[in-house]
Structure 1
Amino acid sequence: MVQPRYKVIVDAFAADIRSGRLSPGARLPTHRQLARREGVALVTASRVYAELEAIGLVVGETGRGTFVRETALPAGLGIEQQAALSGLTDLNFNSPSLPGQGEMLRSALRELASSGDLEALLRYQPHAGRQHERAIFARHLLARGIEAAAEQILIVNGATHGLAAVVLGLFRPGDVVAVDALTYPGFKLLAETMRLDLAPVPIRSDGLDLTALARICKDRHVRAVYTMPTLHNPLGCVMTPERRQELVAIARKHELLIIEDAAYAFLVDHAPAPVAAIAPELTIYVSGLSKSVATGLRVGFVAAPAHYVPMIERAIRATAWNTAGVMTAIACNWIVDGTVSQLEAQKRDDARVRQQIAAEVLTGITRIAHPASYFIWLPFTEDVRADLVAMALIRENIAVSTAEPFATTEQVPHAIRLALGSVDLTSLRESLGTVRDAINAYTY
């Protein structure tokens, strides 16, 4: 059987890409140029590129053209733990840890073993946590300006599980949720799993573009807005008090639920009041101890208006039944004795040191970051391609994240995010030097 003409052209391009005759990053002819060269209609040329993009060999970029993808780049870079799988230096994920934390855990386990009713920790717990532990988290939030009764607190297995419980409990497939154009990959994955319709909102240097949000709410039936007002991931911006009030006004006008993700908020000294403190009746506040204490301590918490608690609690039951009793007991003890506050202060200092190192090493490269955050966003100019930089770094045994896991728009910006919190300071300085060199080497 004779192949259609477009299929012959597709196969020829595919063979050239897979053999290396067309190298990653190579710009392909425009649709019109391809049509003239191959003697086919413009619609046929467009079909060729659409099929090549569908099979992952090229990427079309508005205003720039069509480029050969870096097909050797590991699938899901920025979501899967590539560094753990291949022994790479990890600038992809943040696992901030301080010297002596292992010994702190050893002491906590000894203390737990010598006191209290250990048998109780081996049994199933209430789905939202034991009442006295929920009260401890309520007091923890009160220090951050959030007044919530213990009955409004739900203890979960980390902040991501908290988000999952909120989404599963309160949303249905097809619900529209407004999000930043660049947002937390975990929420993107949740939205995809639950088949939510994400409405990307442009982001400014001070957070969500609220004018754009209001316009989207006029045009579409938006159910909620998911936001990180205090230390946005990946950009590190902090929304001002005035803009938080404006966000609340828009939410009240359009009857939006606000999901406030505060996973990194502890790193900001003298942060503005959480949105949950301004509008507790329409805000669900989600955070945890993974970043402030340890990623292995999978304990998080959700503060919600009382009428949402039963639905979120039902989702906890469906996904994990309850949080782990031993882990929750350790977390609560560390909140009560001040260990969590101590670690948060130390990690703020640690993050500042790492940002200073990055500023020294990456001089001359555009950086977007908060001075006390554990990550940096590096946006590239048109002459630098993120996939090529990421692949070059993998060859140097360094894992970074491209913009793809964070982007909620069809057009993915060329940028990488560097996580600073998972390596020692010497390795960090050396690795950042390699990042700098890779970026400079791929400037066309």
Structure 2
Amino acid sequence: MSETKFKDIARQIEQRIDEGIYPPNAKLPPHRELAAELDTTPATISKAYKLLAEMNRVESFVGRGTFVVGESHLNQAIQPSESETEFNFSILQPYVLQNLSPLRIAYQKASLAFTPELLAYTDHSGHHAHREAGAMWAKRYGLNSATASNVLLTNGAQHALSLLVETLTQPGDVIAVEALTYPGILAIASLAGRQVIGIDMDEDGLIPSALETVLHTHKPKLVIAIPSHQNPTGITMPIQRRQAIAAIIEQSAAYLVEDDIYGFLNEDTLPAICHWLPEKGIHVSGLSKAISPAMRCGFVVAPEHLLPVLNAHIRANVWLASPLNFIVAEQLINSGDAFSMADAQRDIAKQRQAIAKDILGDVISESDGYHVWVTLPAHWQQERFVMEAKQRDLIVTSGSYFVAGNTNPNCIRLSLMSIKHSEALKQGLRALKALLESHEVSLAPF
């Protein structure tokens, strides 16, 4: 091979990036595929990709592939609307109009509860009454072992996940996640310098035998799983699968981080995986998905022996989560209003799932949560579909942002809750259906 051939290949790829053929954040072709196209070897493509990475034009992720450097993957997966005319299917949040009025009342009432003690520093991660409310929330949705003494308060579930990664792993350590997972987890791992390994999934979630293989081969310090209404697939693990996962973790050296942020969407309460892992399970929940993203109230239920180090990290980083939101959370939980609001969100999600099923049909996953996982027709490639949808004011999320394993299914994720009105939702879904069925695109082919 010529010493300069890989540099020539790198220049060709860079030209495609500059011309928009490979747009920001797009996944580049696998080594063998591009080697065949450019009449070279996979080794040459590998050297070209490495050179481009050194030039900060691309970035590679173990098990996911190589991507054009652009905006943050998390920012691309979850995009704010730029126009009132857009149909934003990218943001997973509760239907905020439903909770606007009760939240206004709740915050007004909470202001009357302000005392010097509540507005001052406190021991642990937050006030006892607020941790007690967090325990009540976790218990309601499947974790009976939660008490005020083993609950930590964080500024939302994302802060909780970051805290756990930072506290329980070191740079270079391996974290195992579902093969398709929430991009916020991938962003945390990337920024913290942790390696991510994906665990294969089936229709019931994490495959136990695949988990055993990853634990044996890669020896991760943490396994992070989303057991209910999994993001992005919508899968909810049945009880038998939860028990199987717990039994395997119990025999390993890893901790399980159970991101149960969507547990309130289950029609019947399912036991948390951590129910069977009192010493090795860490349970994360919160109010941002059930009440409002503005309520940065996260609850971490951890084994007693981990509480001192987790508290120390919280204190070193934020000292304590702001009590102001937790004053409201305590009142809503103790009165039962928080649970009523969560139930109302579940009902709205069911209604919107029925609308999506009626319009999109069998291309969507079986789910009753906030989102659906859409399998694209063979004539559509996911990055192309996302860009073409954007041309039509339809903001959707490419399946590539969720990939932690070796496979990259040709899918997109649609949130059904962020669009304000049902008629607008129907209009957006019909436009998506027309695009799914269309073979005509306005962009030049790759």
Q: TM-score range by the shorter chain?
A: 0.7 to 0.9
Structure 2 residue 258 is the aligned partner of structure 1 residue 260: yes
Q: For residue 160 of structure 1, report the CA deviation from its aligned partner.
A: 0.9
The whole-number CA distance in structure 2 between the counterparts of 1:216 and 1:133 is: 38
- Worse-superposed segment, 281-290 or 140-149: 140-149
1:296-322 per-position Cα deviation (integer Å, ceiling 9, x unaligned): 111110001111111111221233221
1:124-168 alpha-carbon deviations (Å, 9 max, x no partner): 343411112212222332333422231100111111111112222
Deviation at 1:56, TM superposition (A): 6.0
- Aligned-pair distance for 1:82? 2.9
Corresponding position of 1:118: 115
1:46 corresponds to which residue? Answer: 45
Give the structure 2 partner of residue 31 of structure 1.
35
Q: Tell me, in whole angstroms, the C-alpha distance in 1 between the residues paired with 2:41 and 2:96.
A: 59
Moved more, 284-293 or 26-35: 26-35
Identity of aligned residues (%): 26
Partner of 1:274 in structure 2? 272
Which amino acid in structure 1 is aligned with residue 416 of structure 2? L
SS at match of 1:120: coil
Partner of 1:398: 394
Q: Post-superposition shift, 1:4?
A: 3.8
Unaligned stretches of 5+ residues in structure 2: 442-446
Q: Is the 8 A contact 2:154 2:300 kept in 1?
A: yes
With normalisation by structure 1, the TM-score equals 0.85
Cα offset, 1:329, TM superposition: 0.3
Q: Which residue of 1 aligns with 2:249?
A: 251
Equivalences for residues 17-416 of structure 1 within 5 A:
18-19=18-19, 31-32=35-36, 34-35=38-39, 42=41, 46=45, 50=49, 76=73, 79=76, 81-85=78-82, 88-99=86-97, 101-114=99-112, 116-145=113-142, 146-364=144-362, 366-370=363-367, 372-416=368-412
Larger radius of gyration: 1
Q: Distance in 1 between matches of 2:172 and 2:191?
A: 11
CA distance in structure 2 between the aligned counterparts of 1:13 and 1:100, rounded to whole angstroms: 48
Aligned to 1:428: 425
Aligned to 2:444: none
CA-atom RMSD, angstroms? 3.3
- The CA deviation at 1:117 is 4.1
Unaligned runs of 5+ in 1: 36-40
Moved more, 341-350 or 396-405: 396-405
Q: Report the 3-state secondary structure (helix = DSSP H, G, I; strand = E; otherwise coil) of the residue aligned with 1:119.
A: coil
Q: 1:397 to 1:293 in 2, by over 3 A?
A: same
Q: Distance in 1 between matches of 2:333 and 2:432?
A: 38
One-letter code aligned to 2:186: K
- Given that 1:183 and 1:233 are in contact with CA atoms closer than 8 Å, whether structure 2 keeps it comes out as yes
How many angstroms does 1:440 deviate by?
2.0
1:211 deviates by 0.6
Tell me which amino acid in the other structure corresponds to 1:428. Answer: L
CA 1:394–1:321 in 2, change beyond 3 Å: closer, same or farther? same
Could you give the per-residue CA deviations for residues 423-444 of structure 1, whole angstroms, max 9, x where no partner exists? 1212211111122222222489
What is the alpha-carbon distance in structure 2 between the residues aligned to residue 102 and residue 199 of structure 1? 40
Deviations 1:230-284 (A, max 9, x none): 2211111111211211111111212321110111111011142111222222110
Give the CA deviation at 1:53.
7.4
Find the aligned partners of 1:356 and 1:46 in 2 and give their Cα distance: 46
Cα 1:410–1:381 change in 2 (3 A) is same
Matches of 1:33 and 1:113, distance apart in 2: 65
DSSP 3-state at the match of 1:141: helix
Shift of 1:85: 4.7
The superposition leaves residues 52-87 of structure 1 with CA deviations (integer Å, 9 ceiling, x where unpaired) of: 97576999xx9xxx99x9x89966366465334565
Letter in 2 for 1:31: A
Amino acid corresponding to residue 34 of structure 1 in structure 2: L
Larger mean Cα displacement after TM superposition, 327-336 or 230-239: 230-239
| CA distance in 2 between partners of 1:143 and 1:304 (Å) | 17
Query: What amino acid sits opposite 1:367 in the alignment?
Result: I
Cα offset, 1:123, TM superposition: 2.4
**Aligned pairs, how many?**
427
Contact 2:14 2:57 in 1 (8 A): no
Counterpart contact for 2:239–2:270, Cα < 8 Å: yes
Distance verdict in 2 for CA 1:81–1:249, change over 3 Å: closer
Contact kept, 8 Å, 1:155 with 1:302, in 2: the verdict is: yes
> Structure 2 vs 1, CA of residues 306 and 118 (structure 1 numbering), >3 Å: closer, same or farther?
same
Contact 1:207–1:239 under 8 Å retained in 2: yes
Task: Give, as a single letter, the amino acid of the residue that structure 2 aligns with 1:138.
Answer: A
- 132-141 vs 79-88, greater mean Cα deviation: 79-88
